[in-house]
Structure 1
Amino acid sequence: MKRRQLMGYAGAGLVTTLVTSLSSHRQAGAQSGGSLTVQWLGHTCFLFTGGGAKILVNPFRTIGCTAGYRPPKVAADLVLISSQLLDEGAVEDLPGNPKLIYEPGVYEFQGIKVQGIAIPHDRKGGKQFGTNAAWQWNQAGINILHLGGAAAPISIEQKILIGRPDLALVPVGGGPKAYNAQEAKQAIQVITPKIVIPTHYRTQAADNATCDISPLDEFITVMQGMAVRRSNSDTVTISSSNLPENGAIQVLSYKF
């Protein structure tokens, strides 16, 4: 049976809302063609806009590796949380009243099917930092996979669920809670996404003594041979009609 429970953020607390037959109230264009705008808000936090929906993934508190970023206080219709650690699960200051999903399972929201896939958040089977939810959904005709803070290899069963994403957001900076460059490469070889946006790496904003993740250069080096696109912006627009079949790395620039 499909999981049809959404957690809605309301004021200072969380309320449970039972969602019924949302497919009959499908929002026009939610999964159809068009274009998807992806904005990097720092660390593993991204805002996806397209198909009549705004989906925010992993808003954070400014602490540790996120201390130098601006708080991602942006409006969204739906918020996906990979874990309830401070760098991936801060919702108390978000504007409006977005719906919130933070547990693996299968959900529907405005005609969009959202699937949360459980992957350990550490290299000890989740015993250190628990379970990470990798999020998969289709928005504006783009199949999206956000791996959050995945730290374990992708299993055959998970690969079957994931298929081949058009866009994969992959942690690359290592540390105890996410893939390092070589582990990220192995995950990419398994899922073969058309576009990879690297996440969870050391930047000028994440350059402090308490941050134990590596810079992007290490990942780019191990991915030698894969095309790299560098943007001067924190935003990229993607459409299903111009996806690179052989794969490319898209690097965004955080705006300080």
Structure 2
Amino acid sequence: MKITYLAHASFLIETKSGIKILTDPYDNSVGYTVFELSPDVVLTSHKHFDHGYTGSLKGDYVLVDKEGEFEVKGVKIKGIKTFHDKENGQKRGENIVFVIEDEFSIAHLGDLGHELAASELEKVGKVDILLIPVGGVYTIDAKEAFNVAKAINPRVIIPMHYKTEKLKFDLGKVEEFTKHFEDVEILQTSEIEINSLPEKQKVIVLKYKG
């Protein structure tokens, strides 16, 4: 499985069979480079400009933007309804958490705005690789993200949705999240290929591509 961190909450995930899955594409108002991509599948956690912009995409892709269980081009995808805030969506609406089942299970939490209840954790199930927002303000903050990661208990944690020099609005820094963990690897690349899982839990910080 190959994972490329484009920026913000957007990743390009290439499965073992070569299917390309794009998560939460953003528009150019965010501050990052917008890429013209031709994915096979696009997952959008909600409709906001920084998570659901598909205007730059090419080709005949399948869009998944709701809860449910789907099989797209041989890949099993589960969407779980959560919320973008701590008020059951009254402030910012719903958020879809996606779990992709391939050689490893990978969960993308979108703009999750609250810690997960036991019933939600049960729906998420076993996760090997977790893509989690950590910057707060519009999502869970660093400490809440630590609690969510602890509850899900994946082998690999990749933080997303935090403040960088290019982002045009304020979020918390990734260091506020990583300080809670013992094993943290900061890479100077946007891509990582995962062929096996570490024996112990590990946080990997990828450099955004955009």
Cα distance in 1 for partners of 2:24, 2:181 equals: 29
Whole-Å Cα distance in 1 between the matches of residues 34 and 82 of structure 2? 26
Match of 1:230 in 2: 186
1:57 to 2:32 alignment: no
Cα offset, 1:112, TM superposition: 1.5
Cα gap change, 1:255 to 1:100, in 2 (>3 Å): closer
Q: Shift of residue 123 of structure 1? A: 1.7
Pick the structure with greater CA Rg: 1
Displacement after TM superposition at 1:75 (Å): 1.4
Measure, in 2, the Cα distance between the counterparts of 1:163 and 1:124.
Answer: 24
The CA deviation at 1:252 is: 0.5
What secondary structure sits across from 1:190 in the alignment? helix
Q: Is the 8 A contact 2:98 2:109 kept in 1?
A: yes
Q: Which residues of 2 match residues 67-78 of structure 1 at below 5 A? A: 67=31, 69-78=32-41
Task: Measure, in 2, the Cα distance between the counterparts of 1:156 and 1:220.
Answer: 24
Match of 2:13 in 1: 48
Number of residue equivalences: 209
Q: CA deviation at 1:58?
A: 0.5
How far apart, CA to CA, are the structure 2 residues paired with 1:186 and 1:110? 34
Q: Name 1:89's counterpart in structure 2.
A: 52
**In structure 2, what is the equivalent of residue 174 of structure 1?**
136
Deviations, residues 200-237 of structure 1 (Å, cap 9, x unaligned): 0001111x4xx12111111112x132x11111100000
Structure 2 residue aligned with 1:22: none
Question: Sequence identity, in percent?
Answer: 30
CA shift for structure 1 position 173: 0.3
TM-score, structure 2 as length reference: 0.95
Shift of 1:163: 2.0
Matched, 1:37 2:2: yes
Residue aligning to 2:109: 147
Q: What is residue 154 of structure 2 aligned with on the other side? A: 193
> Please, what TM-score do these two structures have when normalized by structure 1?
0.79
Partner AA of 1:192 in structure 2: N
Instruction: Give unpaired runs (5+ residues) of structure 2.
Output: none
Q: Is the 8 A contact 2:37 2:56 kept in 1?
A: no
- Return structure 1 stretches of 4+ with deviation > 6 angstroms: none
How many angstroms apart in 1 are the aligned matches of 2:206 and 2:78? Answer: 25
Aligned CA RMSD, in angstroms, stands at: 1.2
Gaps of 5+ in 1: 1-35
